[in-house]
Amino acid sequence: MAHTCIHWFRKGLRLHDNPALMAALRDCKELYPVFILDPHLYNTQVGLNRWRFLIGALKDLDCSLRKLNSRLFVLRGKPEDVFPKLFNKWKVTRLTYEYDTEPYSLSRDKTVTTLAKEQGISVIYKISHTLYDIDRLIEENDGKPPLTYNRLRELAKKLGPPKKPIPAPTFEDMKDIKTPCPEKHEKKYRIPTLEELDLDTTSLGEELFPGGEQEALRRLDEHMKRAGWVCSFEKPQTSPNSLSPSTTVLSPYVTFGCLSARTFWWRLAEVYQGKKHSDPPVSLHGQLLWREFFYTASVGIPNFNKMEGNSACTQVDWDTNPEYLAAWREARTGYPFIDAIMTQLRQEGWMHHLARHAVACFLTRGDLWISWEEGQKVFEELLLDGDWALNAGNWQWLSASTFFHQFFRVYSPVAFGKKTDKYGDYIKKYLPCLKKFPAEYIYEPWKAPRSVQQAAGCIVGKDYPHPIVKHEQVHKKNIQRMKEAYARRSPAQSPVKKQGVKRSAPSIIDMFQKKMKKEANLHLSRLSSTCSLLSLQSVPSNITPT
């Protein structure tokens, strides 16, 4: 039987390594590639940079499809409302899509699948957004999500290497397949502009990371040419405040599915072949496994993106302080390093994973004592690589709520940035009001004499805010509050301790001092390897004691 098929694009905005798309082409006479602007996913809470990236990715995908004598049909509305009309209008007999593990996506897909089957339409989905079948990883772990990275690695090793990616469809694959494109379809199903989506684009800056599969593959090729850099890559050794990215910045392309994670994995394997190279968790392969770790946790832990109802998450009595939250979000904390990072986020939609660590710690357990759920919302809106599982997982990690338990290790909003940018060039780039401050005061402008502030043309309290909290005081108070929250944890939530000789428990001060002494010798990989291949919201690293 020759089918009339809809292939439903969601995240996998690419032709390469798209097994669901290839399934659509088998025994197919008419193909309708569809993308739906679902109001649940694409709404006023999506930042401008993210919108621009999506529209660019859709344009690129449409261009690639047109080279195969097809095109992309873009519609707006709830999928459960849109599809029944398309099924009838196009006389559809098959629906294909890439499997998605997010709770909303699973519910949505179940509803659409039911609607399709009620009309006798066959439904095929394929796994290609992750390296492995996430459900299979959980099954291999006795039905429970692995809660440590090392355990995830053991499970992945047991399953063997990820499947190899498949090629993109060719003109030969499409030679007997038609995509009906009447003239009226050009306007009705075309990709909208940002203006047509009622978005104010006046604040948009330069597009540093254009969306799309072709751009993703181009960037991948460029990085793979740097074999020495790829082989020696260790995520913790990259800089959070370099003026140009010190990582690959392929994370947005993997998030939107412009680049297949499996393609990325196997291209790295080709470069590694026969060469000495870094290993997980710090290597680029390691970053892809961090992504897999958080995806697995997100599937296996109910209410993963919330504190309440999340069995793995420490219950913390976070404060509700709208003024502090707004200051953090709007880069008005009075700490230049923190404000520069938040400015970069708003302007560019991206920042280095260690920069994410610094601002996440500052908002939560470090300084402002505001729930990680509030930070999660801001990142979800503004990050190009905002990913539901990775965002929730990393905010829990960085707030020391789940996975990471060394809450006494706190990022200093002053000292941490100085380690890699002594003269504050990063701050000067993103906070030009401070660019004339001497290096001595660039991280702490409130300490500059009035004459220095006047010479710099920036008076603290007038042209740039005073610090909203005193870090030296609040971080100590917050460590005690975290200690109390940990004391209230149930035995099931507490980190597992090996049986052995009983000894007296060290005080929080003892632990903190011990960690300070070990700082120089700590292998940063155990703490800072991130789930992002390049900056996917990431795990803690060399936290600078205050």
Q: What is the CATH number of the domain that holds 158?
A: 1.25.40.80
> Domain for residue 511, yes or no?
no
* Same structural domain, 362 and 288: no
Task: Check: CB of residue 15 under 8 Å from CB of residue 21.
Answer: yes
Distances (CA, A) of 71 to 59, 60, 62, 65, 217: 10, 11, 5, 5, 20
Q: Is 122 annotated as a binding residue?
A: no
> Domain for residue 199, yes or no?
no
Q: Is 385 annotated as a binding residue?
A: yes
> Domain for residue 168, yes or no?
no
* Same structural domain, 471 and 346: yes
Lowest mean pLDDT among 398-412, 413-427, 492-506: 492-506
Q: From start to end of 112-236, where are the E strands?
A: 122-126
> Domain for residue 179, yes or no?
no
Alpha helix (H) ranges present in 273-421?
A: 284-300, 322-329, 336-348, 353-361, 372-382, 388-398, 415-418
Q: Is 437 annotated as a binding residue?
A: no
Structure tokens, 73: 């049909």
- For Cα atoms 127, 128, 133, give the angle at the middle one, nearest 5 degrees: 50
Phi, psi at residue 443, to the nearest 5°?
A: -90, -20
* Same structural domain, 328 and 274: no
Instruction: Note the pLDDT tens digit of each residue in 144-161.
Output: 999 999 999 999 999 999
In the sheet with 3-9, reading across from the earlier edge strand, the strands are 73-76, 28-37, 3-9, 94-98, 122-126
Q: Is 107 annotated as a binding residue?
A: no
Name the domain boundary from 108, 129, 150: 129
Q: Is 208 annotated as a binding residue?
A: no
* Same structural domain, 378 and 399: yes
**Structure confidence at residue 525 (pLDDT):** 40
Lowest mean pLDDT among 4-8, 56-60, 305-309, 498-502: 498-502
- Grade residue 182 by pLDDT with cuts at 50, 70 and 90: confident
Name the domain boundary from 457, 487, 517: 487
Q: Is 249 annotated as a binding residue?
A: yes
Secondary structure class of 131 (helix, strand, coil): coil
Secondary structure class of 98 (helix, strand, coil): strand
* Same structural domain, 150 and 228: yes
- Grade residue 187 by pLDDT with cuts at 50, 70 and 90: confident
Instruction: Note the pLDDT tens digit of each residue in 493-545.
Output: 655 443 333 444 444 444 444 444 444 344 334 334 333 333 333 443 333 33
DSSP-derived secondary structure letter, 199: -
Mean pLDDT over residues 171-193, rounded?
Answer: 91
Domain of residue 12, CATH code: 3.40.50.620
* Same structural domain, 110 and 240: no
Q: Is 100 annotated as a binding residue?
A: no
> Domain for residue 537, yes or no?
no
Q: Is 288 annotated as a binding residue?
A: yes
* C-alpha span between 282 and 286 (Å, rounded): 6
Instruction: Indicate whether 5 pLDDT > 90.
Output: yes
* Same structural domain, 53 and 91: yes
Phi, psi at residue 126, to the nearest 5°?
A: -135, 150
For the four alpha carbons of 149, 154, 157 and 162, in that order, the dihedral sign comes to negative
Name the domain boundary from 300, 333, 364: 300
Mean pLDDT over residues 240-249, rounded?
Answer: 92
Please state the domain count of the chain: 3
Q: Is 294 annotated as a binding residue?
A: yes
Mean pLDDT over residues 453-457, rounded?
Answer: 98
* Same structural domain, 328 and 469: yes
What is the b/e burial string over 78-89, where b = at least 16 CB atoms within 10 angstroms of the residue's CB? ebeebbeebbee
Q: Is 87 annotated as a binding residue?
A: no
Residue type, 270: E
Instruction: Indicate whether 36 pLDDT > 60.
Output: yes
What is the b/e burial string over 218-237, where b = at least 16 CB atoms within 10 angstroms of the residue's CB? ebbeebbeeeeebbebbbbe
Q: Is 290 annotated as a binding residue?
A: yes
Domain of residue 328, CATH code: 1.10.579.10
> Domain for residue 525, yes or no?
no
* Same structural domain, 361 and 407: yes
* Same structural domain, 125 and 155: no
Quote the domain boundaries for residue 141.
Answer: 130-163+214-300
> Domain for residue 295, yes or no?
yes
* Same structural domain, 369 and 420: yes
DSSP-derived secondary structure letter, 122: E
**Structure confidence at residue 181 (pLDDT):** 85
Q: Is 544 annotated as a binding residue?
A: no
- State the chain's mean pLDDT as an integer: 91
> Domain for residue 121, yes or no?
yes
Task: Check: CB of residue 438 under 8 Å from CB of residue 452.
Answer: yes
- Grade residue 99 by pLDDT with cuts at 50, 70 and 90: very high
Lowest mean pLDDT among 126-135, 411-420, 503-512, 527-536: 527-536
Q: Is 251 annotated as a binding residue?
A: yes
* Same structural domain, 119 and 14: yes
* C-alpha span between 56 and 76 (Å, rounded): 17
Structure tokens, 349: 């939609």
**Structure confidence at residue 519 (pLDDT):** 42
Q: Is 406 annotated as a binding residue?
A: no
